[in-house]
Structure 1
């Protein structure tokens, strides 16, 4: 038996995964650019991620549907 997600649940899961990935990648890169890969990098990255993810998650929840609608309008011409 496979579990199916409702469209709302799928949207939340998408936002969760996308925000985790984007916040981790971006905070990691920006921390590396600003500090280098010196001792303490992972701790600094963790702090940056802890700040970035709670911002990224609700932003994706709010912005993804608007961006999707914009792209659909542009794609239709």
Structure 2
């Protein structure tokens, strides 16, 4: 029983899969909407009971918006990254 070597992601072409990209955008937008809605609402309201009631509502509003925007912004971000890293 030897050590199994995993192929790098580039070789398996997983990172280029449309399904993987969409799923990554779901997770990224979820995490960013959760964190940003929590931070921004706490800045506005302070760490109060009202903040704890408002945060979930703000998150549920922010997540679909963040996901839709990520579909557009990710293409631009990748294009800029490729352009800047070309030697």
Under TM normalisation by the shorter chain, which class is it? 0.7 to 0.9
For 1:20, the equivalent position in structure 2 comes to: 30
Whether the aligned pair in 1 keeps the contact of 2:15 and 2:21 (CA below 8 Å) is no
Structure 1: any 5+ residue segments left out of the alignment?
A: none
Residues 1-77 of structure 1 mapped to structure 2, 5 A cutoff: 7-77=17-87
| TM-score, length-scaled by structure 2 | 0.77
| TM-score, length-scaled by structure 1 | 0.86
Structure 2: any 5+ residue segments left out of the alignment?
A: 1-13
How many angstroms apart in 2 are the aligned matches of 1:23 and 1:73? Answer: 28
Q: Flag the structure with higher helix content.
A: 1
The number of residue pairs the alignment matches comes to 74
Greater RCO between the two (CA within 8 Å, min separation 6)? 1
- Aligned CA-pair RMSD: 1.8
